[in-house]
A and B are shown apart, each in its own frame.
Chain A
């Protein structure tokens, strides 16, 4: 996926809104995956549940640490990346590709404006 078309949260999640419909794919950034180290378990919201903008929606267990996962966009969870159940390492290997988390039907696409561009995000992590 093209990071320049993605939006980024300060909690290190990304959103890729595809095309003109309200569907968006959500994951965590390469920086976050690298900082967490080896991910061994990802607890994601179930299909059909609603997630709310910047509220906790799951957890990521890495070997050394556990991190909360925040919803970078509000909406209904339409699809969950089932592959991660057995291969959570996909998120380390390909955070913007095969390691995606969920697909959400956005209830308020204007929230995307509150998120950062890739460039802005890079600047933020540079300062961190």
Chain B
């Protein structure tokens, strides 16, 4: 991930975080709340009740005008040709050689108006990549500063929003919206987007609001959430939550050298599409099989395998850890790791080298954790 050298940006909720006593850290050019209290408590509250996150650092790129749909469909690997207004799709964007530029969500706001939600650290890179592959007159705009993003995640997320006065006019929609759909509504003249998506593996919503309205939304949702035990959750809990749900993170599982097939994201590659950037390379890789494979490992004991630690089989280094954590929900030390595909096929016994010591690691299926209702 590129190190940001300029002045750190603040989200529209900076004052709220300060008043809550959050520990703030630089992340992707922003000063972000990493935790408010205990990471484990914040993690637990999202799994068992409901948490609220400020993820305003996320980038938003709007592609509009004719023919936006065709244009988007050539830069993403997934197929959005039949995605209707209200639809949301997870995908990656690749370079001609098949490596991943970013992973993102594509939402169809209306016909020929596509919203791409991208990783904060990749925002400029993505924008340039999209521009360089433009095939149509469709407009590409970086509108990241036009939106703050709140994520309300956890089993009570729906109840909380339904109880919140701001969302009273759209209660019916909140109640019926399926996973990976969104709807828009007007609030005090502003367009609000509510998307049933998230990065925690729990039922949840992501709410796009104009920056100046973000503190009011945060307060209203937090007040409505009190009876449900809502608590603010920081980036650290967001990371342990996404890790348990085994969602890839750009900079960890995904990077400029990795392809979607390697990262277990082959399902986002619609190789039969007539054309998309990276198709030829990915078609070839699909035929030959990826050289490395993303796997899950369960470590013996409680020490943690962290990013970059060597994974070995027999006496040979066959890969490395991409993410590792003590899983607060499963109470195990777990890792996601890339290993050579031929080693992944051979067996399920590996070792992770932790500060000079080899720790037994047994392969375990991904995802580590699956919620009953997302």
| Chain A interface (Cβ < 8 Å from any Cβ of B) | 37-38, 40-41, 43, 59, 61, 63-64, 66, 88-89, 92
Contact = CB atoms under 8 A, between A and B. Distances in A.
Nearest to A93: B38
B182 to A, nearest CB: 31
B40 A61 contact: no
B38 A37 contact: yes
What 10 A-B pairs have minimum CB-CB distances, sorted nearest first? Answer: A41-B302, A40-B326, A38-B40, A63-B39, A38-B39, A61-B304, A38-B38, A64-B236, A41-B303, A37-B39
Contacts of B302: 40-41, 61, 88
A84 B169 CA distance: 51
A35 to B, nearest CB: 9
B240 interface: yes
24 contacts: A37-B35, A37-B39, A37-B236, A40-B326, A40-B333, A41-B301, A41-B302, A41-B303, A41-B333, A43-B303, A61-B302, A61-B303, A61-B326, A63-B240, A63-B325, A63-B326, A63-B328, A64-B39, A64-B236, A66-B306, A66-B355, A88-B302, A89-B40, A92-B38
Interface in B28-55: 34-35, 38-40
Contacts of B301: 41
Contacts of B38: 37-38, 92
Contact of A40 (B236, B304, B355): B304
Contacts of A92: 38
Contacts of A88: 302
B39 to A, nearest CB: 5
